[in-house]
Amino acid sequence: MRTRMLILLTAFIGLIVSVSSCKKEKNENNNAQLTMRLTDAPANYDAVYVDIQQIEFKMEGRSSVMISPARTGVYNLLSFRNGVDTLLVNTSVPAGKVEQIRLILGSNNTVVVNGDSYALSTPSGQTSGIKLNLHTQLDAGVSYTFWLDFDAGKSINETGNGKFQLKPVIRAYSSLTNGKIEGYILPTTAFATVYVTNGVDTVSAIPAADGHFVISGLSEGTWTLSVQPSVLLFATFTTDVTVSYGLIANVGVITLT
């Protein structure tokens, strides 16, 4: 009798384990893997520090998902230029359609200009958050990578009397919609800025110390590339560049005259 009871108990435990495993597998299959990285368009500041506390994903037909970033706290946006980025989120989220992303900022936001640090006021960043409409379907069992391109130059407004305001301008793009243009601008003593334009969309880059630049997140099509030197001794350079997804449009070395 005891032997029979032991057999039944073992079978019952095995059934519980089996059901639990099925539920776990089902839950995992209902999730999508999401990686989000932070990058930056150029700005003529010494540093731009943004305090990122939480990220909310608003899903169609279901409750919002609140996620803490991989590193909660202050990010220097100017550390992530010319193709450099940093991990912001790597997590699983329920499959479905993402309608909107909301970045919730803390109060420790500053800009450094000519060695002096100034507080950045954020009228909506601490309450309603920075909202980005995404409208992207996330399928179960699929991994996705998105970039948030924080345009520091367009996001900061000087209001006078040494006061600065942060009104974030952010582009979001995925690994499937990431057209790129890269190259070198010489001589570096021209202190040039690179602009690419397609219709009303304009994106810019400030070359690194060696003249290298990368502009990411571009749509497919023909973009007009314009190199505008700060030193008037040099002439502006303009050319058309064809951008295709999955390829890097390398313009090589552009030498200003």
How far apart, in whole angstroms, are the C-alpha atoms of residue 233 and residue 178? Answer: 35
- Strand 110-113 with 116-121, pairing: antiparallel
pLDDT in single tens digits along all 257 residues of the chain: 444 433 333 443 343 333 333 333 344 568 999 999 999 877 889 999 999 999 998 989 888 889 999 999 999 998 998 888 999 999 998 999 998 888 888 889 999 999 999 998 876 544 567 888 878 889 999 999 999 988 888 888 888 788 898 888 888 888 888 999 999 999 999 999 999 999 888 888 899 999 999 999 899 999 999 999 999 999 999 999 999 998 899 999 999 99
CATH class of domain segment(s) 177-257? mainly beta
Give SS3 for 33: strand
Q: Tens digits of per-residue pLDDT, 185-213?
A: 999 999 999 999 998 888 888 999 999 99
Q: What are phi and psi for residue 62, nearest 5 degrees?
A: -150, 170
* Cα dihedral 25, 29, 31, 35 in deg (nearest 10): 100
Q: In what order do the strands lie in the sheet with 221-229?
A: 201-205, 192-198, 221-229, 237-243
Domain spans of the chain? Answer: 29-176, 177-257
Beta strand 170-174 with 221-229 is: unpaired
By the 10 Å C-beta count (0-12 exposed, 13-18 middle, 19+ buried), 139 is classed as exposed
Q: Write down the residue that tokens 């571009």 correspond to.
A: 218
Token code pair at residue 16: 């519980």
The pTM is what?
0.76
pLDDT at 128: 60
Q: Specify the pLDDT at position 7.
A: 39
Task: Look at residue 234 and give its three-state secondary structure.
Answer: coil
Pairing mode, strands 116-121 and 65-67: unpaired
